[in-house]
Amino acid sequence: MLLGVHVSISGSIDNAVDRAVKLGCTTFQIFTRNPRGWTYKKLGKKEVDNFREKCKEHGYEVAMAHMPYLPNIASPKKLIYNKSVKSLITELERSGALGLKYLVCHVGSHLGAGIDAGIQKVAEACNTALSKIDNDTILLLENMAGQRNSCGSSFEDLRRILDKIEYPDRVGICLDTCHLFAAGYDIRSPESVEKTLEEFDNIVGLKRLYAVHLNDSKGSLKSGLDRHEHIGQGEIGEKGFQAFINHKAVRDKPMILETPEDKRGNFETNLKKVRSLYK
């Protein structure tokens, strides 16, 4: 089972590998830099070498990065859009240098410009970045939670974006379970999981599903709320997660937890819960 969490790079980026090992992860996700700002420092050769050596030593063939919080590749605002595309280019380059298999990017918000305009912006951003950076890292678009003005909350949106990508072999989808549920796709039972994944296959194609973010949802079905909850303690529940992670279309995919850390639980307890549900 390829199961892991989003680990901190605090201290040095290679420390993330140590943290993943300590938790017993078989895959993991990181930010390659501080996710709350636009500025960053270049990766040093030593830290890149240490990161790659540790990944090799502990057998991490599949690990991924996540884009920082600020970029919005669907934005109609020229300044933000240009900075977002530049950030996407940089993160693709950094992910490739670190030997990461995937880079996850939120599809973003069109901010009222309309879904058609947003989809076009997202596709253009991906095409620009992929034309600038030629490496082995695959860009994964993450489905949104159905928030107002969001792009990529529906399977149809994701399909339309993928159809505009000029590098189809270098772009796929990362499905977030909380976002999926909040956007209106039921995954609370074996029957609903089967129906939702069949719908995804018919519209997007399961061959485009490369990774999964495992998060329960504080919000109800079709709430549009992107609020993660501990596995089994939210609206999706244990029954839904057991059906989802054991589905033939999902069970071999890398699964990353982005669950809360509070007095009710942490990454360790959530990892334990998911492992207990995996057959």
- Annotated catalytic sites, by residue? 36, 66, 69, 106, 142, 176, 179, 213, 226, 228, 258
Q: Rounded distance, CA 141 to CA 62, Å?
A: 17
In order of 115, 128, 161, 171, 202, the CA distances from 123 in angstroms are: 12, 9, 6, 11, 21
Instruction: Please provide the DSSP assignment of 174-228 as one string.
Output: EEEHHHHHHTT---SSHHHHHHHHHHHHHHT-GGGEEEEEE-EESSPTT-----E
Q: Which residues pair with 139 in a beta bridge?
A: 103, 171
